[in-house]
Structure 1
Amino acid sequence: MDTDRTVDFGHVQVHIDYRTGRVRCLLPAALTTATTAPTASWGSSEHPAGLTPPSSRWNPAAALALATVLAIREAGPRRASMQRLTAGLRTATAACTTPATHHQAAAAVRSVRRAAWFSPARTACLEESAAAVLLLAMRRRSVTWCHGVAPDPVRLHAWITTHDGTPAAEPASTLAYTTALTIGAPSDRP
């Protein structure tokens, strides 16, 4: 399986190694000279902790899905956490048989965000989107997990979409991201 992705914006190429989690930016003036991007957070839309909690209801299954994602992230060497997470997402989406509706997908994201609000661990879009996939997979509902890059400044974001490509519970700014990796898309299924 190919674990490297490169997104070319013309003025910068962003190279993501999903095995190690390393992100490099290559400038066109010297495409052979790599410059290390700022430390990748694997998501630039962090939850505003300490402000008003999300209004969705508490969902113990969402808390379990989030705890599972956090355990996957922390179980082993840090350099392989992204590889573990994407493998877990592939396993979860392989068991899904019915596409989630937009309402179901958005409700899953909101439920996970509610659970994340109480989490003592770092919880941003990567963890939230992965937990939403797991929450829906518990009900055998499928969505597509997306990880993308936006330029100026270079930033990363993760989100889920329904099978028609509509982002679930995301702001319009998500459309500024170029998708580098998807997991669970209808084309991924046998």
Structure 2
Amino acid sequence: MSIPMAVPARTARPPLSDRFVAIAALALATTLVQVAPLRVTLALAHTAKRCTRRPATAAEAGRVVAARDWASQFFPSRAACLEMSLAAFMASALHGKAVDWCIGCRFDPCESHAWVEADTQPVGEPNTPDRPFHVTLRI
């Protein structure tokens, strides 16, 4: 008899082009968060969003988030919600599609979080209708 373990299931490997973009975006996002001042990171995010051709659909954003999640398993550095959401935002911009990068908070318990949205819906985030995050910054 086998006992199920609490190990996350392996996800399918994204297409090769998505993997390269996700690795580059995760490296860029981590470098920006750790080295650059926040105002520089925000200015770069504004510029990246202005250079996109069209808004991403929820499916396209989900594909970018899945590629980012795949790349993060091999990343040797810190990858918390700020780096992960910025990486998805940058990867989407590199594909020429715009998502919203959101930084926000919630109370009781007090916590902050960063995520991406497509079609005004969070992408790749657990659904917590009882304690929603309030957007403080949206790019």
Q: Does TM-score exceed 0.5, indicating one fold?
A: yes
Stretches of structure 2 lacking an aligned partner (at least 5 in a row): 1-6
State the 4+ residue runs in structure 1 displaced beyond 3 angstroms.
51-54
Q: How does 1:19-34 map to 2 (within 5 A)?
A: none
Partner of 1:156: 112
Contact 1:73 1:84 in 2 (8 A): no
User: How much does 1:88 deviate?
Assistant: 1.9
* Match of residue 35, structure 2, among 75, 88, 112: 75
Larger displacement relative to structure 2 (54-63 or 125-134)? 54-63
Partner of 1:144: 100
Partner of 2:3: none
User: How much does 1:52 deviate?
Assistant: 3.4
Distance in 1 separating the partners of 2:39 and 2:72? 22
Matched to 1:172, the amino acid is N
Matched to 1:182, the amino acid is R
Give deviations 1:145-175, integer Å, cap 9, x for gaps.
111101012101111111x301111111276
Larger displacement relative to structure 2 (113-122 or 52-61)? 52-61
Distance in 1 separating the partners of 2:100 and 2:88? 10
Partner of 1:169: 124
Distance in 2 separating the partners of 1:154 and 1:129? 20
TM-score (normalizing by structure 1): 0.62
User: How much does 1:143 deviate?
Assistant: 0.9
Distance in 2 separating the partners of 1:71 and 1:83? 14
Distance in 2 separating the partners of 1:98 and 1:74? 29
Could you say which structure has the greater relative contact order, defined with CA pairs below 8 angstroms and 6 or more residues apart?
Answer: 2
TM-score (normalizing by structure 2): 0.83
Q: How does 1:119-138 map to 2 (within 5 A)?
A: 119-138=75-94
How much identity, in percent, do the aligned residues show? 31
Q: Secondary structure, in 3 states, of the residue corresponding to 1:149?
A: strand
User: How much does 1:54 deviate?
Assistant: 4.8
| Count of matched residue pairs | 128
Q: Secondary structure, in 3 states, of the residue corresponding to 1:111?
A: helix
**Change over 3 Å in CA distance of 1:53–1:74 after alignment to 2:** farther
User: How much does 1:128 deviate?
Assistant: 0.9
Report the structure number with the largest CA radius of gyration.
1
Matched to 2:113, the amino acid is H
Stretches of structure 1 lacking an aligned partner (at least 5 in a row): 1-50, 184-190
